[in-house]
Structure 1
Amino acid sequence: MSQLTIERSAKSRATMTFFVCFLAALAGLLFGLDIGVIAGALPFITEAFQMTTQQQEWVVSSMMFGAMVGAVGSGWLSFRLGRRYSLLIGAVLFVVGSLLSAFAPSVEFLIISRVLLGLAVGIASFTAPLYLSEIAPEHIRGSMISMYQLMITIGILAAFLSDTALSYSGQWRWMLGIITIPAVVLFVGVLFLPESPRWLAIKGRISTAEKVLLLLRSTNDEARNELEEIRDSLKVKQSGWALFTSNKNFRRAVFLGILLQVMQQFTGMNVIMYYAPKIFDLAGYNTIHEQMWGTVIVGLVNVLATFIAIGLVDRWGRRPTLILGFIVMALGMGSLGLMMHIGIESVWQQYFSVGVLLMFIVGFAMSAGPLIWVLCSEIQPLKGRDFGITCSTAVNWIANMIVGMTFLTMLNSLGSANTFWVYALLNLIFIFLTLAFIPETKNISLEHIEKNLMEGKPLRMIGSK
């Protein structure tokens, strides 16, 4: 085989790998659309159904409850049926949940519809990062999983733009129903994806796993070496709950994944995603159209800042990027709380408040947003990966639901300044937790991370060579 033929083959395989990862990351687009759409729709839904503060919190957080249930169930689903079929089921639920939400005749029906939609989000939030971590080569694994987060941010921005366009006519049902279109696109796209080679190996389908790796890796040797690493890791005969109860090192990985997801949710990012118009109202922007265009700016900054993570995650590393992100988020939340305390009266104070809010968005989008998902998909050993990611993803949605259900109540009881200061303090705490427990995993194979973990190395050292 000539050198030119080899180079063309490697380029073709790299293109195929990117295409596969991009299609899988479309699940993140739906994830983002469903997170973002409620921010713009909520004021109109509140007016249509005359909702109380508690009902508003339930409409927002009901999707997180469904997502928690979906994340727990998707562990079993992805293990039994495979990553690909799990994504297909998620796509169907996205379609059904979006349509039911759009035609909801009452608050109660809307809450139930959003629980169903949450099931789809839970499946996507579990399965897509897992699938990407198992499909992508190790040297671009962080970037590919970060692309999933990028798709989430694009989905949020698209939802904000759609909400803003429809806000002039108050068509909240169209805001909720339009998500059906990308859900159908996701379903069709997933039909063309290969199954995860690691899942195929777990099920004993070694020859099929080899074919997938040969399709996606740069060289045949690279594909076969990775297959051997996977087969070696499969020699551990325990899995899931059995491994959790019998192996303290696996328990450490599960608890680390849980800690990571708690840290991500209690940064306060989803407070802004779900209640952006309310926050702009607090910042002195009192008309609905000012608030809606403010949410669009938030969504755009969120997208652009995610490119920072994609550029840094496999170069600078996970730990330093996380630490910088928590510092920026603490400063942003603290400054916003200070402005609320002083009182926002002049135009320049309004601009400054928006500026520090956007600084917080940049801090999250470049660090905790994508990197938590990257780390959670990397630190679990293969035989317990489904169980470990199920636990961490379920906790993500429990924490997410708590944030969604408490923000308006915190504003009413603590005041706006103290509420934002609470989140600033939490981000400071997360800096020290990162230094103490979070490993650096860039350019390290999943199998090597697993080896270090099972040898009992400190958690912050399981990514060392």
Structure 2
Amino acid sequence: MVYLVAAVAGLAGFLFGFDEGIIAGALGLLRGQFGITPFMEGMVTSAVPFGALFGALVAGSLAASLGRRTSLLMAGLIFVGGAVLAGAAGGVWTLTAARIILGFAIGLAAIVAPLYISENAPAKHRGMLVSIYQLAITLGILGAYLVGYAFSESWRTMFMLGAVPGLALALGMFAMTDTPRWLASKGRLGEARAVIARIRGSDPRDAAVEAEMNAITQTVQASAAEGTWADLFAPVVRPALVVGIGLFLLQQVSGINAVIYYAPTIFQAAGFTSSSSQLLATVGIGIVNVLMTFVGMALIDRVGRRRLLYLGFAGTALGLGLIAVGALTDMQALGPLALAGLALFIGSFAASIGPLPWVMMSEIFPLKVRALGMSVASLANWGMNFVIVFSFPTLIATLGLGGVFAIYAGACVLGLIFTRLRVPETSGVTLEAIEAHLRSGRPFRDLGATPQAHPPGGSALAPRA
């Protein structure tokens, strides 16, 4: 049952990837039909992360008040409306408005979907299950690239097709229940117990269900009042906030969304002359993205979060470095080198620094401020996403392919240092135990390094020393 829950919520990730990736195939047609300038191109392209800023801003309060399920249902309906408006757009401004609406839905769902999965998942499989969201993003990107290739003469069809998974998300969430933690926070303890039993495939009177319910209830009682912004920025929560924001900033400064949005443009700069070869190379990168996400899902609960981050930042730095060196030295084999470097970059990203910020964002914040904390981390994500995507055409024109990718490679090296100094190990640790560690006052990066980081359910509320 928990896999079905993750799959339905993961449709939000598919829509995220689709609505980000579809512009790569549509830009050429839009240039021809509307004669858009480079500034207008940047505006249309960056409208999605711009809209997502506003979705992320309200997602925390909506998820806390209306619930995780209702918020995702709303996002699905907004996806449908945005896709239809984009496909029917009569000009650049209407299309930009439609993509802002789609971005709003993405920003909302990007917080609530991982939260929904995390709060339903058992601790030992939580990383893999939340990673389904990232897998869905990669499938959405690949789907967008394939749709762009198949409907290369109709940008309207490309955008309209996004309404189908949006409707599926809305219908799927209509049939689901909310998470046991949100239900318990609203005093609906009987419903919470029933959800745990159904998801775990157990009787509501089972001892394991009882133990999980007791741990959740104790945490809810300790955080009886609704979380506020002051609570989020309190010293006890600050280490989690630094990790959540830091991982997303580093994820974006790796340049991933510049690659996703402008993949054909990058391949053109690398020497792929025909539009068909650019699109096919882009589809190839999309396939690597999907396959390596499966690798990350297999490793995330076995290798651990920190080790996987080390591998991911090292691999992305190396891949981007290959492209930068090839471009800066004007190598004859720049095309194949760029393809190999991008494949290494995308593969390392998909297995590590792609899913891990989403997974850890849904784990590290205390229940009382979890939705608010995820909102702030997502604001950092979408703000930097907007900056990277909007600035990419100008940076390419100013610094060239080599200079831009050298900057992105340097950011990945910084990611290695940040992981060493700040990031905890949350693999296999219950959400209640993570909260207890924050309250203890011990360094956050020490979580998972000692047996004390895994207290039994009843000790998850140890007072702060």
- How does the TM-score come out when normalised to structure 1? 0.94
Q: Does 2:238 match 1:251?
A: yes
Give the Cα–Cα distance (whole angstroms) in 1 for the partners of residues 335 and 282 of structure 2. 15
**Which position in structure 2 is the counterpart of 1:321?**
308
Q: Whole-Å Cα distance in 2 between the matches of residues 349 and 265 of structure 1?
A: 25
2:463 aligns to what? Answer: none
In the alignment, structure 1 residue 222 sits paired with structure 2 residue 211: no
Give the superposition deviation at 1:342.
2.3
Q: Structure 1: which amino acid aligns with 2:219?
A: S
Aligned to 1:51: 36
Q: Could you list the runs of 5+ residues in structure 1 that have no partner in the other structure?
A: 1-15
Structure 2 equivalent of residue 140 of structure 1: 125
Contact 1:283–1:344, Cα closer than 8 Å, also in 2:
no
Identical positions, percent: 39
Please say if residues 277 and 292 of structure 1, whose CA atoms lie closer than 8 Å, have aligned partners that are also in contact.
yes
Hey, what does 2:456 align to over in structure 1?
none
Would you say how many aligned residue pairs link Structure 1 and Structure 2? Answer: 445
Q: Does 1:333 align with 2:316?
A: no
Cα drift, residue 222 of structure 1: 1.8
Deviation, 1:165, is: 1.1
Q: Aligned match of 1:296 in 283, 289, 299? A: 283
Q: Is the 8 A contact 1:70 1:123 kept in 2?
A: yes
Structure 2: stretches of 5+ with no match in the other structure = 454-465
CA distance in 2, matches of 1:193, 1:264: 31
**Counterparts in 2 of 1:254 and 1:240: CA distance versus 1, 3 Å:** farther
Instruction: Give the match's secondary structure for 2:236.
Output: helix
What does 1:98-137 align with in structure 2 at a 5 Å threshold? 98-137=83-122
2:57 paired with 1:72: yes
Q: Which amino acid counterpart does residue 325 of structure 2 have in structure 1? A: L
Instruction: Provide the C-alpha distance between the structure 1 equivalents of 2:176 and 2:289, rounded to a whole number of angstroms.
Output: 28
Q: How many Å apart are 1:104 and its aligned residue?
A: 1.1
Check whether the contact 1:75–1:387 (CA below 8 A) recurs between aligned residues: yes
State whether residues 333 and 356 of structure 1, in contact with CA within 8 Å, keep that contact through their aligned partners in structure 2: yes
Cα root mean square deviation, aligned:
1.2
**C-alpha distance after superposition, 1:282-305 (max 9, x if no partner):** 111011111111110011000000
| TM-fit CA distance, 1:424 | 0.6
Alignment of 1:20-419 (within 5 A): 20-167=5-152, 170-219=153-202, 220-234=206-220, 235-238=222-225, 239-245=227-233, 247-345=234-332, 348-419=333-404
Structure 2 residue matching 1:104: 3-state secondary structure? coil
Tell me by how many angstroms 1:71 deviates: 1.1
In structure 1, what is the equivalent of residue 459 of structure 2?
none
Deviation of residue 242 (structure 1)?
Answer: 3.5
Contact 1:240/1:386 (CA < 8 Å) preserved in 2? no
Cα displacement (A) at 1:55: 1.1
Return the alpha-carbon distance in structure 2 between the equivalents of residues 132 and 166 of structure 1.
34
Secondary structure of residue in 2 paired with 1:19: helix
Of residues 82-91 and 453-462 in structure 1, the stretch that sits farther from structure 2 once superposed is 453-462
Task: Tell me by how many angstroms 1:369 deviates.
Answer: 0.5
Cα drift, residue 462 of structure 1: 2.8
Q: Are residues 1:427 and 2:415 paired?
A: no
Aligned-pair CA distance for 1:218: 4.8
Distance in structure 2 (CA, Å) of the matches to 1:105 and 1:462: 54
Distance in 2 between residues matched to 1:261 and 1:223, nearest whole Å: 34
* Counterpart code for 1:243: D
- Contact 1:101-1:177 at 8 Å conserved across structures: yes
Deviation at 1:344, TM superposition (A): 4.8
How far does the alpha carbon of each residue in 1:231-274 deviate from its partner, in whole angstroms, 9 at most, with x for none? 111213451313135x3111222232111111111111111100
SS of 1:366's partner is: helix
Q: Which runs of 4+ in 1 moved over 4 A?
A: none
In structure 2, the CA distance between the partners of 1:349 and 1:402, relative to structure 1 (3 Å rule), is closer
How far did 1:365 drift? 0.2
In structure 1, what is the Cα distance between the partners aligned to 2:298 and 2:326?
33
Q: How many angstroms apart in 2 are the aligned matches of 1:452 and 1:125?
A: 26
Q: 1:344–1:56: structure 2 CA closer, same or farther, 3 Å change rule?
A: farther
Q: Which moved more, 1:326-335 or 1:248-257?
A: 248-257
The whole-number CA distance in structure 2 between the counterparts of 1:206 and 1:225 is: 14
User: In structure 1, what is the Cα distance between the partners aligned to 2:20 and 2:252?
Assistant: 13
Partners of 1:64 and 1:164 lie apart in 2 by 24
Cα separation, 2, equivalents of 1:201 and 1:323 = 37
Does the residue aligned with 2:237 lie in a helix, a strand or coil?
helix
Does the 8 Å contact 2:267/2:335 carry over to 1?
no
Q: 1:12: which partner in 2? A: none
